[in-house]
Amino acid sequence: MILESIIIVIYSVALILIFLYALAQLNLLFNYLRSKKNNSTCPKFDLSNPNEVPHVTIQLPVYNELYVMERLLNNISEIEYPKDKLEIQVLDDSTDESFEATAAQIKELQATGLDILHVTRENREGFKAGALKEGLKTAKGEFIAIFDADFLPKKNWLLNTIPYFKNPEIGVVQTRWGHLNREYSLLTRVQAFALDAHFTLEQVGRNSEGHFINFNGTAGVWRRECIIDAGNWQGDTLTEDLDLSYRAQLKNWKFKYLEEVETPAELPVVISAARSQQFRWNKGGAENFQKMLWKVLKNKNASFKTKVHGLLHLLNSTMFLNILIVAVLSIPMLYIKNEYTHLKTYFIIMSFFVISTLI
Catalytic-labelled residue, pool 92, 150, 241, 243: 241
Catalytic-labelled residue, pool 93, 148, 150, 243: 93
Furthest-apart CA pair in the chain: how many Å?
A: 81
CA distance 277 to 299: 31
Element (H, E) at 271: helix 271-298
Q: Which residues of 159-170 are buried (b: 16+ CB within 10 A; e: fewer)?
A: ebbbbbbeeeeb
Neighbours of 151 (CB within 10 A): 24
Among candidate residues 90, 248, 233, 74, the one with its CA nearest the CA of residue 173: 248
Are 158 and 80 in contact by the 8 Å Cβ rule? The answer is: yes
Q: What is the CA radius of gyration of the chain?
A: 23
Residue 243 annotated among the catalytic residues of the structure: no
Interaxial angle between packed helices 2-35 and 319-339, expressed in degrees from 0 to 180 and rounded to the nearest 10: 130
Residues near 33 by beta carbon (within 8 Å), at least 6 away in sequence: none
Residue 93 annotated among the catalytic residues of the structure: yes
CA distance 264 to 72: 12
| Residues catalogued as catalytic | 93, 241
